[in-house]
Amino acid sequence: MKDFRDKIAVVTGGGTGMGRELARQLTAAGAQVAMCDVSVENMAETKRLCEAEAPAGVRVTTHRCDVADERQVLAFRDAVASEHATDHIELLFNNAGIGGGGSFVKDERADWDRTFGVCWFGVYYCTRAFLPMLIASKHSHVVNTSSVNGFWASLGPTIPHTAYSAAKFAVKGFSEALITDLKINAPHVKVAVVMPGHIGTSIVMNTAAVLGKPDALHMSATDVAAARDLIARRGIPVDTMSDDDIRTAMHQLAIAFRDNAPVTAAQAATIILDGVRTDRWRILVGEDAHALDRLVRESPETAYDQSFIDVLRAQGFFQLFD
């Protein structure tokens, strides 16, 4: 699919980050876009940006949908069919995601389940819901966003990262299994799995809102204590830091994750769409993703040791987490 003009694309998590940039680049290329998100306000801004840059005749629709809720996903699908007057789509980007639920041992089960629900069941429910519309097209693609944490379940040896990693491993395995399934049963439908490294998005900020928690500057005393422990495990002295200092540090970390990333969300979207155009089923995004992919394959037994992080840092990666 080298040309997106007049194709109908569904993008989940279109309110910010890679979802927003996918929507912008797709509409600029002449595609019709239906996006969903849990934030109506963020989607409205994405729609404004799309319409300002898209050629005449391009349609953008927004739909509030929690992809972890299958009933909402089915309602989203029905709304897309109705508002775009179509029985088919050519592109499905399962992009929505949040963090949270880092520790299976210590964190609240609700946070763990919510993160796994968005990052895994969102992909599963949307693919289930939209598959008949993909099959109804002459040629179509489903593009599932996994992560480097879909093959490396870590943020380093001092930071548990279980819910997100488990979900992204599931997305990767599901996508790879679909290659054969689709080749046998629907050969005109292609699948790609996207594995980004550190991309400049607002996922850290958005996660708190989706989990129903205050932002970093307004964290509860319990969350401050957990953040203090997290910062200390990164080797940063916290004895002289007040609770407000901890809140500010976590807020600045979220901003740094977005603003100091080696790859912007727009650059990531370009890499993803180029991967679709060239029919690649495996799309690594960022030099850090390529480095991690190589190193995990070369030395899987050390992937969760400090020595592995030391090698990454010696090669210029993982600097934000120093």
Pick the range with the lowest mean pLDDT from 165-169, 202-206, 289-293.
202-206
Q: What is the pTM of this model?
A: 0.93
Average pLDDT over residues 223-249: 83
In terms of C-beta distances under 8 Å and separation of at least 24 residues, what long-range contacts does 49-53 make, across chains too? 49/20, 49/24, 50/23, 50/24, 51/27, 53/24, 53/27, 53/28
Give the tens place of pLDDT for each residue, 35-74.
Answer: 999 999 999 999 999 999 999 999 999 999 999 999 999 9
Q: How far apart are CA 164 and CA 148, in angstroms?
A: 11
Choose, from 124, 125, 164, 304, the residue flagged as catalytic. 164
The more confident residue out of 237 and 194 is 194
The first and second tokens of residue 281, run together, are: 């089923």
Pick the range with the lowest mean pLDDT from 69-73, 124-128, 212-216, 261-265.
212-216
> So what's the pLDDT on residue 172?
98
Element (DSSP H or E) covering residue 190: strand 189-196
Give the tens place of pLDDT for each residue, 101-111.
Answer: 999 999 999 99
Evaluate whether 163 touches 111 at the Cβ level (below 8 Å).
Answer: yes
> So what's the pLDDT on residue 322?
47
The first and second tokens of residue 119, run together, are: 């990052």
Average pLDDT over residues 24-41: 98
Average pLDDT over residues 273-278: 98
Evaluate whether 207 touches 111 at the Cβ level (below 8 Å).
Answer: no
> So what's the pLDDT on residue 261?
83
Q: What percent of the chain has pLDDT over 90?
A: 77
Domains of the chain, start order: 1-201+263-288 (3.40.50.720), 204-260 (no CATH)
- Pairing, β 199-200 against β 189-196: unpaired
Say how far residue 186 (Cα) sits from the centre of its chain: 26
Give the tens place of pLDDT for each residue, 66-102.
Answer: 999 999 999 999 999 999 999 999 999 999 999 999 9
> So what's the pLDDT on residue 320?
58
> So what's the pLDDT on residue 268?
98
The pLDDT mean for the chain works out to 93
For 117, which DSSP code?
I
For 201, which DSSP code?
-
Active-site residue 125, yes or no? no
> So what's the pLDDT on residue 216?
82
Pick the range with the lowest mean pLDDT from 37-46, 118-127, 257-266.
257-266
Q: How far apart are CA 269 and CA 265, in angstroms?
A: 6
Evaluate whether 296 touches 303 at the Cβ level (below 8 Å).
Answer: yes
Q: In sequence order, which residues have a C-beta less than 8 Å from that of residue 240 and are 6 or more positions away?
A: none
Amino acid at 265: A
The number of beta carbons lying within 10 Å of the beta carbon of residue 189 is 21
> So what's the pLDDT on residue 219?
81
> So what's the pLDDT on residue 178?
98
> So what's the pLDDT on residue 318?
81
Q: How far apart are CA 39 and CA 36, in angstroms?
A: 9
Residue 140's alpha-carbon distances to 82, 87, 152, 272, in angstroms, are: 19, 13, 29, 15
